[in-house]
Amino acid sequence: MLPKWFDEWNTSNPTNIFKPAIGIGIIGSVVFATAIVVSFGNPLATDSLQTGPRGTGMSVPEFKVALATPDPTIEEYYTEEPYVPEAGEPLAKDIYENVQVLGEVTEDNFNRLMNAMTQWVAPDEGCAYCHANADEGEYADDDLYTKVVSRRMIQMTQVINEDWDGHVNANNEVGVNCYTCHRGQNVPSEIWFRITPVNEAVGGWASVQNRATSLSQSTSLPSDALEQYLLNYETIAVHDLDSRVEGSPADEGFPTWQNAERTYSLMNYMSNSLGVNCVFCHNSRAFYDAAQVTPQWGTASLGISMVQELNNDYLVPLKDTYPENRLGPIHGDAPKAACKTCHKGYQQPMQGTNVIADWPELATTGTPEY
C-alpha cells in the first residue's frame, strides 16, 4: 500500500512509539479525571476542624464523604414525645408494685419509658427480658438479674445527665440514655474486662505489653491503660522538660517510661474512640502546657473523671449480680465502660443527636420537667 522507498526508510529509521503513547495516555487520563472532578466534585475532598491558632497545624482533617455519612444506628433509634402531666394525675409508684426508681413519673410516661427501654435494649426479647412473668401480667418481682441491673443503669443515666452536664452537654444538649450505649443490643459493644497480664511467660513489664490486644488497640502498647486510668484512678502526669530526672521508679509517684507508654496507650484509645487525632485536645508542640490545650481537652478530662466514677460506683459493684457468662473471661470481673462504649468512633455519640429531649425522666434524679 505504501511506496517501496517509504518501507525501506521506515525499516532503516525505526521509531519508538511507546514513550509518546504512554505520555499521551497519562495526559489524557489527567484531563479525564479533572473533567470528572469539575463535573461531579472531588470524591476525596476533606474538611478540617480547626482546634487551635492558625499556622500551628492544630486541625482535624476528615473526608467530607465520611462527615456526610450518618451513624447507621441513628436510623434505628426509637423516640416518642412525653405526655405533659396534668394536675392530680396518679404516679407510677401509686399504681405499680416495687417501683424503686421512676416512681415520681406519671403512669402514661412510665409505660412510655418502659416501652422505649425495651426497644433500646431488648427489641427481640421484649418485656420478658427483665420481667420473668411478664406473660402473666406480673412485673413486680426481681427474679431476673437484668431487672436489677436495669434499675441501677437508670440511676446511672440520671446521674450522668445531671452531674456530668459539662461533659455530655459541652457544646449543646445531647445527653445520654440507654440507647447511647446499647444501640438495640442486650450488652453494649465496646465494654471491657481486665486481661493483664498478657504474656505470663515473661516477667516484669512485658507482662502487660508486647502482645497486640483489643485494649491496646491492636498495638504492642500496654494493655492495662483502661484498668489503671479509668478504674484505678491513676494520674496521667508523665511529662518533664528535663531529659534526666532525679529519682527512682521505686519512689512513689515517680513517673517512669512505663507510665509514659501506658499514657500513650490511653491517648491512642481515646483518639480511636472519637475518630480524631492528638490536636483535637492538645497543642502538639507543648503537650505539657495546660495553657495551650483546646476546649476539647477540658471536656475530655471531665469524661475521664466521669468514667472513673461510673466504673467504680455503678458497674463494678454489680459483679455479684451478674451470672458467670456475663463476667470477664480471665478475671471474672464485671463489664466496664470507657470512651468508645458511648462514642463508637464519633466525636459525639450518635453524631450529636439529642437523646434526652423526649426523655426528661432520664435527665434528672429528681422530678422530671416537661
- Average pLDDT value over all residues in the chain: 89
Give the pLDDT score at 9: 72
207 confidence band (pLDDT: 50, 70, 90):
confident
Residue 19 has pLDDT above 90, yes or no: no
Indicate the pTM of the whole model.
0.84
User: pLDDT higher for 222 or 42?
Assistant: 222
Percent of the chain with pLDDT over 70: 92
Give the pLDDT score at 69: 79
Buried b / exposed e across 238-266, counting CB within 10 Å, b at 16+?
Answer: beeeeeeeeeeeeeeeebbeebebbbebb
User: pLDDT higher for 214 or 60?
Assistant: 214
Give the pLDDT score at 70: 86
Percent of the chain with pLDDT over 90: 61
Highest mean pLDDT among 38-47, 82-91, 154-163: 154-163
Give the pLDDT score at 41: 66
What is the tens place of the pLDDT at every residue in 225-246? 999 999 999 988 887 777 777 8
Give the pLDDT score at 44: 67
Q: Which of 278, 258, 260, 283 lies closest to 268 in space, CA to CA?
A: 278
What is the tens place of the pLDDT at every residue in 344-361? 999 999 999 999 999 999
What is the tens place of the pLDDT at every residue in 246-282? 887 788 878 888 899 999 999 999 999 999 889 899 9
Residue 140 has pLDDT above 80, yes or no: yes
Give the pLDDT score at 221: 93
Task: For CATH 1.10.468.10, list the domain ranges present in the chain.
Answer: 76-173+350-370, 190-343
Residues 6 or more apart whose CB falls under 8 angstroms from that of 85 comprise 106, 109, 370
What is the tens place of the pLDDT at every residue in 277-307? 898 999 888 888 888 889 899 999 999 999 9
Give the pLDDT score at 37: 63
Give the pLDDT score at 63: 65
- Listing DSSP states for 188-257 in one string gives -TT-B-----S-TTS-GGGGSSSS--TTTTTSSS-TTHHHHHHTS--------SSSS----TTSTT---H
User: Omega of the bond prior to 197 within 30 degrees of 0, cis?
Assistant: yes
What is the tens place of the pLDDT at every residue in 44-103? 677 777 777 777 767 777 766 666 678 999 999 999 999 999 988 999 999 999 999 999
Give the pLDDT score at 217: 92
Give me the residues paired with residue 49 across strands.
60
Pick the CATH number of 76-173+350-370 from 1.10.468.10, 3.40.50.620, 3.10.450.50, 1.10.10.10: 1.10.468.10
Q: What is the domain class of 190-343 according to CATH?
A: mainly alpha
